[in-house]
Every structure is written in C-alpha cells, then in structure tokens.
Amino acid sequence: MDRKQAWVTPCVLMCVAAFASEAYALADEQAITKLIRDAAHAMAALPKTNDVKGVLQYLAQDYTFIDQGELRGRKELEVTLRDLQSQKTSGEAVEIKDDVTHIHVHVAGNWAWAVYDEVVLITVNGQIIDEDDNTCTGIFRKTGQRWLYVHEHCSEGGDADTSN
C-alpha cells in the first residue's frame, strides 16, 4: 500500500462512520418524536379505551414529573389516570384533547431530551376541568432498542418554536 492509500483509507472510514452516526441519531430523534406523539394520543384516547397501561407503556418505571411544583412519580400518575377512568364509569362524559407541536429532540448516546409545546384540554360533560398551554421538556433513556420517558416538566405558556 502506498502512502496515498494509507491516508485515504482511514479518511474514507471516518466519513462512513460519521454518516452512520448521523443516521442513527436521526433515527433516534424520529423515534423520540413518535414516542411523544404516541403518548399524547394514548392520553387523548384514554376515556374511550380505558387503557391506563397504554398510557404508562411510554414511561420508565422510575419516571417522574412536576405537578404544581411537586415532584410526582409514575404510581401517582397511574392513580390520577384511574380516577379519570372512574369518572367515565360513573356516567360522566370525559374527553381529553392532547396536541403536541414544535418538537425539538437532542440525542446524546442512550439519553435524550426534547422541548415541545403541548396543549391539553380535559372536559367532563362538556365542562372544561383542565386547560393547559405548556412548553414541556422531556428526558428520555434508551433501554435496549426502546426509548422511554424518564422525566417531564411542563411550564405554562407554550412556545417551544425556536424558529422565530
């Protein structure tokens, strides 16, 4: 092998590795974006499906979130979701709308974070019981081939669109 080949081969290999790394990062960003949207859809469908596990499947066992300034866990969220479920079984018409926009994902190995806007509207018998327009930050961990929420925090006044 001459000197030119000795320099070209490592350069080509580094370029291939860089492109492969970018492809994996893009795939992870797309997977996390899908996870955020799927979790929102599962939450919105909860009054119709009664599938609490369908909502919780997107959350790590050690998932935490901030609710009115207090750190809460997955178990507390499950109780809240089951309470919503019981309102439906008592004959009340519960509806959830959960719209997520402006998702910006950043991946660092097996960890990632995303900033996004989320508008949630919960009604019971047509009366609004909760309405939130938030900017949220989600922290995610990859376990095996699957990304899961580890933590989420939302603040009033959504506008994660940083394109302006």
What's the average model confidence in pLDDT over 141-162?
85
Residue 85 has pLDDT above 80, yes or no: no
Whole-prediction pTM:
0.79
Exposed/middle/buried for 10, CB within 10 Å: 0-12, 13-18, 19+?
exposed
What's the average model confidence in pLDDT over 62-81?
92
Residue 120 has pLDDT above 70, yes or no: yes
CA dihedral 155, 41, 124, 159 (to 10 degrees): 30
Q: What is the per-residue pLDDT for 9? A: 54
Q: Locate the DSSP E strands across 59-126.
A: 59-67, 70-73, 94-108, 111-124
> For residues 8 and 116, which has the higher predicted lDDT (pLDDT)?
116
Average pLDDT, the chain: 84
Residue 19 has pLDDT above 60, yes or no: no
Write down all domains in the chain, each with its CATH number in brackets.
3-156 (3.10.450.50)
Q: Starting at the earlier edge strand, list the strands of the sheet with 70-73.
A: 70-73, 59-67, 146-156, 127-143, 111-124, 94-108
Name the band, by pLDDT with cuts 50, 70 and 90, for residue 114.
very high
By percentage, how much of the chain surpasses pLDDT 70?
Answer: 77
